[in-house]
Structure 1
Amino acid sequence: MDTIEYTKFSAALAQRAAGLAQLGCASADGRTRLRRLYQEGSAKIRRPAVSSGPLEAVLINTAGGLTGGDRLAWEVDVGAHASAAITTQACEKVYRAASDHADVRVRLTVGENGRIAWLPQETIVFDRAAFARTLEIDLAPGAEALVLEATVFGRLAMGERAAHGSFHDRWRVRRDGRLIHAEDFRIGPDIAAALGRPAVAGGAIAVATLLLVSPDAEALLHPVREIVGAQGGASFWSVTTSGKLLARLHAGDGYQLRQRLVPLVGLLNGRAGLPKLWSL
């Protein structure tokens, strides 16, 4: 596994959080088993006990959130015929940045006929936050991926709204070295004004993007559209020997968004269903 480069901070910058965590798994005796686990800094990985199904892993940022200058890197390598589901312990919070930006880099690699479900809980963005996330996914022939990122710009129940700041989400997905999905979502510095535009979110503050790369994707398009409803949309494309289903959702707050994400993830993740922490 190639390692994501990230900044290691000196003692003079000890207030900034830095972390790198790597997880590798492989198929053995009909089950997916842990092959490698590495943790450094504020990035930790825990594994709930499961008796069957994919290997489950929980990502934890022990810094308790992110702010300007923080750096996190997560790497997951799923071997051929193996299956893994990855989530987070809680919603990641991105706080106001005094300077610089918080940076998260994710690299997912899936071997031939393997499968990964990348299902972190929502990212909550606070006012004046600065955040950039890069998601790189490499799929071997026959591999499948279910990928979710959901973001809530402020917590209305707490009287908070992310009116200003910067947010950048960059995805690159490749199958057998060929680019099959690319997108860049960038918003700011006037976040509230941008979200208020009809072509963006029509005033909604909670948004989500969900991507399924699978030969079964086309058959799921109609039920996905029923769950997404009028506040969002879903489309399907044929890519190489597989299919790609992309869904986007928006809602008035995080609770309304979660109400649709739960059945949607349950549908697209098949027998594995929801990560256990999603139901707590």
Structure 2
Amino acid sequence: MKNTLLKNVIATTPALQRARGAGAIVTKQRDGRTRLDQLFQDGCGKIRLPNTHSSALEAVLINTAGGITGGDQLQWRAEVAAGGHLVVTTQACERSYRSTGDTARVETRLKVGVGAHLDWLPQETILFEASKLDRRLDIELDAGATLTAIEAILLGRDAMGEEARDAELRDNWRIYRCGRLIHAEATQLTGAGSERDGLSLLAHCRAFASIVHIAADADRAEILRDRIRTILPANGQIAASANGERLVIRAMARSGLALRRLIVPTLLELTGAGSLPRLWHL
């Protein structure tokens, strides 16, 4: 009798409402400036275009749900016209909250036209205790296109002393040049203590970031690598390497503030405008 009653309760429990959102932006070139051509928004996915003094177009991605949790789905798309410059950032740090079982999914697809540049500069993602997040980033670059992209993760909130040791993350990047795969990486956190404490992994750090810059050619990537290495702090857990047209920077720190102090000078060297969006400084 007890088991039958329990089954009936489970069967009649309503499914929790989940957030769905999507946003897309396409640019065009006019009078030497990058302008908006197409804009699409759906659900909790919103895009705002603040006024700037740059010839680039800046787009701010907003998740009006206030964060993501198990079962939520977000999709972002951006396409930069040939010769254009688009800067994409987020209104604030994205928050991945505790999940009751399902995994939150965020999918981003970016396309950069011939000779164009894209700065993909979302602010950090904060993983809360028992959160589950699966992200995928796919980028297609045409001939001569360049890219600066970052994804940064904070494990819990600094001010609350959180560590989010059981947070789960899958983060996959794929970057193509004219249809040819030139960069692939996968990051996974399963909640195992060895991932957080191992000296060859996070080594007790609670914040980490990957920065990838795709230059026009290998020579330019090496020049940028050498310049970046001159500004890296001697005692910071950050390093840069170049392989062909790819420049890859990895950084980790004990706190989100310490991580920002490591990555901001590097990003300033790599962005197309030589500056970060104003939202990064608020």
Whether TM exceeds 0.5 here: the answer is yes
Provide the C-alpha distance between the structure 2 equivalents of 1:90 and 1:206, rounded to a whole number of angstroms: 16
CA contact (8 A) 1:54 1:272 kept: no
1:144-183 superposed matches below 5 A: 144-183=146-185
CA contact (8 A) 1:227 1:260 kept: no
| Percent identical | 42
Q: Which residue of 1 aligns with 2:240?
A: 234
TM-score normalized with structure 1 length = 0.91
Q: Which residue of 1 aligns with 2:8?
A: none
Q: Which residue of 1 aligns with 2:271?
A: 269
Provide the C-alpha distance between the structure 1 equivalents of 2:20 and 2:142, rounded to a whole number of angstroms: 30
Provide the C-alpha distance between the structure 2 equivalents of 1:91 and 1:227, rounded to a whole number of angstroms: 26
CA contact (8 A) 1:217 1:244 kept: yes
Segments of 5+ residues of structure 1 without an aligned counterpart are 1-11
Q: Deviation per CA, 1:117-138, whole angstroms, max 9, x where unpaired?
A: 0000000001110001000000
Q: Which residue of 2 aligns with 1:58?
A: 60
1:224 counterpart SS class: helix
* Match for residue 138 of structure 1 among 137, 140, 162: 140
Q: CA deviation at 1:59?
A: 0.4
Q: CA deviation at 1:187?
A: 1.0
Q: Which residue of 2 aligns with 1:207?
A: 208
Q: Which residue of 1 aligns with 2:7?
A: none
Question: How many pairs are equivalent?
Answer: 264
Q: 1:29 to 1:124 in 2, by over 3 A?
A: same
1:258 counterpart SS class: helix
Q: Which residue of 2 aligns with 1:197?
A: 198
Q: CA deviation at 1:232?
A: 2.5
CA contact (8 A) 2:143 2:177 kept: yes
Structure of higher CA gyration radius: 2
Provide the C-alpha distance between the structure 2 equivalents of 1:169 and 1:225, rounded to a whole number of angstroms: 26
Provide the C-alpha distance between the structure 2 equivalents of 1:78 and 1:237, rounded to a whole number of angstroms: 25
Q: Which residue of 1 aligns with 2:226?
A: 222
CA contact (8 A) 2:238 2:262 kept: no
Provide the C-alpha distance between the structure 1 equivalents of 2:92 and 2:273, rounded to a whole number of angstroms: 23
Provide the C-alpha distance between the structure 2 equivalents of 1:22 and 1:41, rounded to a whole number of angstroms: 12
CA contact (8 A) 1:53 1:272 kept: no
TM-score normalized with structure 2 length = 0.90
Q: CA deviation at 1:156?
A: 2.9
Provide the C-alpha distance between the structure 1 equivalents of 2:195 and 2:123, rounded to a whole number of angstroms: 23
Q: 1:155 to 1:228 in 2, by over 3 A?
A: farther
1:271 counterpart SS class: coil
1:217 counterpart SS class: helix
CA contact (8 A) 1:59 1:89 kept: yes
Of stretches 129-138 and 265-274 in structure 1, the one that deviates more from structure 2 is: 265-274
Which 4+ residue blocks in structure 1 deviate beyond 6 angstroms? none
Q: CA deviation at 1:219?
A: 1.0
CA contact (8 A) 1:42 1:63 kept: yes
CA contact (8 A) 1:96 1:127 kept: yes
Q: Which residue of 2 aligns with 1:4?
A: none
CA contact (8 A) 1:174 1:181 kept: yes
1:112 corresponds to 2:114: yes
Provide the C-alpha distance between the structure 2 equivalents of 1:182 and 1:19, rounded to a whole number of angstroms: 26
Q: CA deviation at 1:228?
A: 4.0
Alignment-mate amino acid for residue 91 of structure 2: Q
Segments of 5+ residues of structure 2 without an aligned counterpart are 1-13
Q: Deviation per CA, 1:134-192, whole angstroms, max 9, x where unpaired?
A: 000000000011000000111232121111031010000000000000001111132x4
Provide the C-alpha distance between the structure 2 equivalents of 1:27 and 1:76, rounded to a whole number of angstroms: 15
Provide the C-alpha distance between the structure 2 equivalents of 1:142 and 1:276, rounded to a whole number of angstroms: 28
Provide the C-alpha distance between the structure 1 equivalents of 2:184 and 2:231, rounded to a whole number of angstroms: 24
Q: Deviation per CA, 1:237-265, whole angstroms, max 9, x where unpaired?
A: 11xxxx11000000001000011222111
1:60-139 superposed matches below 5 A: 60-139=62-141
Provide the C-alpha distance between the structure 1 equivalents of 2:117 and 2:272, rounded to a whole number of angstroms: 12
Q: 1:98 to 1:129 in 2, by over 3 A?
A: same
CA contact (8 A) 2:126 2:156 kept: yes
Q: CA deviation at 1:276?
A: 1.2
Provide the C-alpha distance between the structure 2 equivalents of 1:255 and 1:98, rounded to a whole number of angstroms: 30
Provide the C-alpha distance between the structure 2 equivalents of 1:110 and 1:96, rounded to a whole number of angstroms: 35
